[in-house]
Amino acid sequence: MEELITRIANNVGVDSATAEKAVGLILAFLEKEGPQDKVGALIAGIPGAQELIASADKGGFLSNMMGGVMGLGSKLMGAGLGMGEISGVAKETIAFAKEKAGAQTVDDVVNSIPGLGQFI
């Protein structure tokens, strides 16, 4: 997981702690919204993913009321990310997941979640 966090910090320009929190939120979102069999394979393919999911802040009252991609965006903004940074973190996370868990598995998860594809 350190490889991904370093990559995000270098390529997106956010600090490591923020990158770690953002990846945890993204993976927790995929786990909640995606098909369990495909998401399970994705998470199993990324070393340290389960630990980041467990440590992800579940968000405040408003972000918990919003579901889907908008709820995730709210949580990521609450973590201090702007729209450009959210896009960068999401793209790096998905690219890394494809490297580790396989492109087809990740594409299946992304395509199963309404609206997610337009952000990555």
Domain boundaries, the chain: 2-109
Instruction: Quickly tell me which residue has 């993913």 as its tokens.
Output: 49
Q: Among 60, 56, 74, 69, which residue's Cα sits nearest to residue 18?
A: 56
Question: What does the pLDDT read at residue 119?
Answer: 77
pLDDT in tens, 74-116: 999 999 999 999 999 999 999 999 999 999 999 999 999 988 8
CA dist 87 and 73 (Å) reads 10
Q: Among 62, 65, 73, 84, which residue's Cα sits nearest to residue 22?
A: 73
* Residue 108 CB coordination number (10 Å): 17
pLDDT in tens, 41-75: 999 999 999 999 998 855 544 445 567 888 899 99
Question: What does the pLDDT read at residue 55?
Answer: 87
Query: Which pTM was predicted?
Result: 0.90
